[in-house]
Amino acid sequence: MVRPRDGAAGMRLVAARADPYTAPVWSDAERERLRETFDRAAEIYHRVRPDYPEALFDDLIALAGLAPGDQLLEVGCATGKATLPLARRGFRITCVELGAELAAVARRNLAGFDVAVVEGRFEDWQPEGPVSLVFAATAWHWVDPDVRYRRAADALRPGGHLALWAQEHVFPDGGDPFFREIQEVYEEIGEGLPDGAARPRPGELGDNRAGIEDSGLFDVVAVRQYDWERVYTAEEYIGLLGTFSGHLSMASWQRDRLYGEIRRRLAQRPDRSVRRHWGTVLHVARRRERPTLSAATNGSGRQAAR
């Protein structure tokens, strides 16, 4: 079941978890290395990553005032998980994707639609004309934070919109206990959660309203939350983990130990499966016609260096 939720006023960022919108938590070189690792998982990515809720796309179209035939720009399309629902709704889309293998899979998945997949960095790409919407689905954190909002604003027509959302793990009351139980294996291999790490419940994910507006380039018009569930077999779940940068960067012995224990534990369950709950926060923001960049910011949505 998919449940859309309006963003609550005063919602706080969940402590001790990586923010999927306002990173960096890495150096520039490390961010580039990690985002390129996804090419290693291109073929399996589309199969195991969950689809986004259809309600999210319906809300996005209404909130941004889009009409079929409008030109859209996607930042980091991967294999087209977020592209396909919008292409089916009649939009023309240009996707900028860094990974050569991901771009190739996206072209296959999107064949027959009015979609162009361009291989390259969004930071360097030059648009051919203004678009009605720039959007990024579980990809914004890979873009250089010093330029991403400015690049998005420059690509938009007057009155155009920016939309951001990201898949995250949420933990409903009565959810699958597997994730708490498996933490002992992560601790054993040196990949445990930091002290104080929270387990956000559905509807309680942090939002990036402040970060978007601090760029001085956008006004947030809506923040909405959605949550849903997907059931995985052991092999499907291990495949999913193999599309996460943290697991891709593990040593082989760490993955062998973790994945072996996942197989063993799920084999002992009657249904041999695990239930994972997903959540996402949709941000829709309108481009400001008169940017309000102050001396305290650099148009990136974070404080400028002093």
Using one digit for the tens of pLDDT, what is the confidence trace for 26-40? 456 665 666 566 666
- Mean residue pLDDT across the chain: 87
**Strand 273-287, strand 218-233: pairing:** antiparallel
146: region left, alpha or beta (phi > 0 left; psi from -120 to 50 alpha): alpha
Cα 96 from Cα 187, distance rounded (Å): 37
Average pLDDT over residues 262-278: 98
Beta bridge partners of 115: 93
Has residue 20 got a pLDDT over 70? Answer: no
Using one digit for the tens of pLDDT, what is the confidence trace for 149-176? 999 999 999 999 999 999 999 999 999 9
Residue appearing with tokens 């309000």 = 292
Distance of CA 44 to the CA centre of its chain: 17
Q: Does an H or E element contain 23, and which?
A: none
The residue among 166, 165, 167, 143 whose CA lies nearest residue 155 is: 143
pTM of the model: 0.85
Using one digit for the tens of pLDDT, what is the confidence trace for 31-70? 566 656 666 678 888 889 999 999 999 999 999 999 999 9
Q: Which amino acid is at 192?
A: G
